[in-house]
Amino acid sequence: MRKIIHWVHASIDGHIDGPKGEFDWPIMGEELSAYSEALSRRSDTFLYGRGVWDGMASFWPDAESLSDHPHVLKFAPIWRGTPKIVVSTTLERTEWATVISENVAEQVAELKRRPGKDLLLTGGSGLAGTLTEHGLIDEYHIAVHPVVLGGGRPLFLPREDRLGLRLVESRTCDSNIVITRYDRT
């Protein structure tokens, strides 16, 4: 069975964006970029919630004209060439992705049962929270950046019960970012 991998950037104080939705603080150095690209190569489908999708769709289709950063130049063709699924109850259709708007857990579970490579859920906490609640995320890859945002969306949504995870790996990238990988227990 395919795995769902959640790949997310977080601040030291556990936020995935700033108090006003800012996402200008993750620094994609050479090692972090390589890690991200390796996760992309493990996957043949990218999953997004609506909020992350809006940011991705506004940048990646024409990314090379907006930035000459090495990560952008390498990842843009990967992003464009990989099938994408957006989970949203308000988005009816989009040029770059298939939209799932109902029975999310059932449809995503069906995606996991299909043959293929893993599915990569990038960023966000809403869709990740829903999929976590249904036991559908297999791996959590969290890049903790050396910044205190003082507010914003939490890395994990509040839960009524505990979530047991097992630390599989931790490493430092680019001398200042700590990546931890946890598997569901």
Cβ proximity of 179 and 33 under 8 Å: no
DSSP string covering 109-129: HHHHHSSSSEEEEES-SHHHH
Q: pLDDT tens-digit profile of 136-151?
A: 999 999 999 999 999 9
Would you identify the CATH topology of the domain 4-20+31-184?
Answer: Dihydrofolate Reductase, subunit A (3.40.430)
Sketch the domain layout of the chain as residue ranges.
4-20+31-184
Among 83, 88, 107, CA closest to 99: 88
Query: Can you tell me the mean pLDDT for 127-144?
Result: 97
pLDDT for 48 equals 98
pLDDT for 176 equals 96
What is the SS3 assignment for 22?
A: coil
DSSP letter, residue 60: G
Global pTM? 0.95
Confidence of residue 132 (pLDDT cuts 50, 70, 90): very high
Q: pLDDT tens-digit profile of 65-100?
A: 999 999 999 999 999 999 999 999 999 889 999 999
